[in-house]
Amino acid sequence: MGDIKDDVFTEAMKSLYGTSRKNDIDVSASKKVGLSMPTFSEITMYVYNEAEIRLKDPSKRVTIGNHILAFSIPIYTEILLYMRLCLNQSLEVPLTRNIMKHPCESTPIIREYLQSLYKEGDVIEKSPLLQYLHLIKQLMIAHPAIESICCMLEIVGCVPQLYTVLAKDINWLRDLMNSLKEEIREQAAVLYAVMLNYGTSEKDFNEAIDFLIKQAGSKNLESQHGA
C-alpha cells in the first residue's frame, strides 16, 4: 500500500479491498462478498508490533523532520485507513476508503461501538484500541494530514476518556486551526473543542476561549476561520 511501484500497489489494493480502484472500495457487509478482512485486534496487534520492531532498526525506520516513523507517510496513511475499516467492519455505516468527518449521521453508531471497546485501566500492550490510537498519534504529530486527524477525532471524539493521548499537545493542536488547508482547520477545531471540554481545568478553558475570541478578530483569514 502506498508503494511507488504501480504493480505492487495495484496487487496490494486488490488483495486488501478486492479492487485496485480507490473510488470502488466499499467493504460494507452487503458489498464485500467473498472479501475476507482480519479482525481489528488481529491487524492492530500485528501492525503495532511490526512498527515497534521497525522503529528500532535504522535501516527500516523513516525520519520526518524531528520525528521517527516506522513507515513512510504514504504507507502509514494507507495502513491507518485499512485499520479503520477493520475496526468498523461490523457496523452499518459507510465503509469506503474516503475518510469520515465527524460529527455526522454515523457518529452515534460508531460512538456506541467504540465505547464498548474501551476499558478503563487498559494498558497499551494488551489493548488494540490504545495501540491504534498510538499509531494514529505518531503519524499525526509527524505529518498532520486530514486522514490522521480524522482518525484521531473519531476515536477521541467517541471515547473522550482517551483525551490524555493529546493532553501535552493541545497548543500544537490549537495551532493546526491556522492551517492553510480548510479541511484541516475544520477537523482540528472539532478535535480541539473535545480536548477543551474534557481535558482542561476551568481556568485553562476560560483562557483558551479568550484566546479564540481574539483570534476571531484577527486580520488573518485562516485564524478567523479556525477560531
| pLDDT tens-digit map of 86-145 | 999 999 998 988 889 999 999 999 999 999 999 999 999 999 999 999 999 999 999 999
Cell reading at 52: 515497534
**What's the pLDDT at 203?**
95
10: confidence class by pLDDT, cuts 50, 70, 90: confident
The full DSSP string for the chain is ---SSHHHHHHHHHHHHS-S-GGG-B-STTT-TT-----HHHHHHHHHHHHHHHHT-TTT-EEETTEEESS-HHHHHHHHHHHHHHHHTTSSS--BSSPPPSSSTTHHHHHHHHHHH--TT--TTT-HHHHHHHHHHHHHHHS--HHHHHHHHHHHHH-GGGGGGGGGGHHHHHHHTT-SSHHHHHHHHHHHHHHHHHHS-HHHHHHHHHHHHHHHT-S-HHHHHH-
Q: What is the mean pLDDT of residues 70-76?
A: 96
Taking the CA atoms of residue 222, residue 150, residue 81 and residue 71 in that order, the dihedral angle to the nearest 10 degrees is 60
Is the full-model pTM beyond 0.85?
yes
> Domain ranges in the chain?
35-158, 170-227
For 166-194, how does the pLDDT look when each residue is reduced to its tens digit (9 = 90+)?
999 999 999 999 999 999 999 999 999 99
For 12-49, how does the pLDDT look when each residue is reduced to its tens digit (9 = 90+)?
888 888 887 877 888 886 566 567 889 999 999 999 99
